[in-house]
A and B are shown apart, each in its own frame.
Chain A
Amino acid sequence: GAGVSQSPSNKVTEKGKDVELRCDPISGHTALYWYRQSLGQGLEFLIYFQGNSAPDKSGLPSDRFSAERTGGSVSTLTIQRTQQEDSAVYLCASSYSFDRAEAFFGQGTRLTVV
């Protein structure tokens, strides 16, 4: 597609439920990022996929968070047993290569845990 696409745009879930957030990167982009944007917290790095390398998961806040990237393209971020503090905007970005490339962002998924 023309840009990074994320779905759903908004998600309201009950505390304790699992959620899946989807990201379709720009075709041909080898790097894919997930970030979390909370009010006053800026952009918190979560996970980074680069080609076929093992993902950098160093930003995942707990073992309730996981992500996968299938076929080097679509990525899914899964949050298990959601908590109220998980409420945030989850942003996906992709870039053409890992070096010297700007990141292109999706519109984000606004997650609200009630």
Chain B
Amino acid sequence: AQSVSQHNHHVILSEAASLELGCNYSYGGTVNLFWYVQYPGQHLQLLLKYFSGDPLVKGIKGFEAEFIKSKFSFNLRKPSVQWSDTAEYFCAVTGNTGGFKTIFGAGTRLFVKA
């Protein structure tokens, strides 16, 4: 069955610290990978996505993620977080073997101390 695992449920960082949020997936066939973010009181919105090509993808607000096919991973990174990055982050996957059904991880709540 398709699944997405996010390793950290809660992360607390100080401003300017580096961030890495882990994501592993189980989804056969060709996959498309996403990170979504939900800021307090706002809708879920796309942060970045990977379909093909360069496995290092860059998204909005200085975020990037690396697809490592051999590890079934798509970790999210940011070199220096800001207080405004406080939000919940969700990894998601879709692919041809699942009828392109999008499956989400449990989410990681990030709190950045000013």
Contact = CB atoms under 8 A, between A and B. Distances in A.
Interface string A96-114: 0011101101111000000
Given A42-B105, A45-B104, A91-B44, A102 B49 contact: yes
Interface stretch (A15-23, A33-41, A71-79, A80-88): A33-41
A105 B44 contact: yes
A98 B100 CA distance: 6
A12 interface: no
Nearest to A98: B100
A105 B43 contact: yes
A56 B104 contact: no
Interface residues of B, number: 23
Nearest to A44: B104
Contacts of B32: 99-100
A100 B34 CA distance: 10
Interface string B57-101: 000000000000000000000000000000000101000100111
Contacts of B99: 48, 50, 56, 98
B107 A33 contact: no
A50 B43 CA distance: 22
Which 10 residue pairs across A and B have the least CB separation, nearest first?
A42-B106, A43-B104, A98-B100, A105-B44, A42-B107, A102-B46, A105-B43, A48-B101, A100-B51, A56-B101
25 contacts: A40-B106, A42-B6, A43-B90, A43-B105, A43-B106, A45-B101, A45-B103, A45-B104, A48-B101, A48-B102, A50-B99, A50-B100, A91-B44, A93-B102, A95-B102, A98-B99, A99-B32, A100-B32, A103-B44, A103-B46, A103-B92, A103-B102, A105-B44, A105-B45, A106-B43
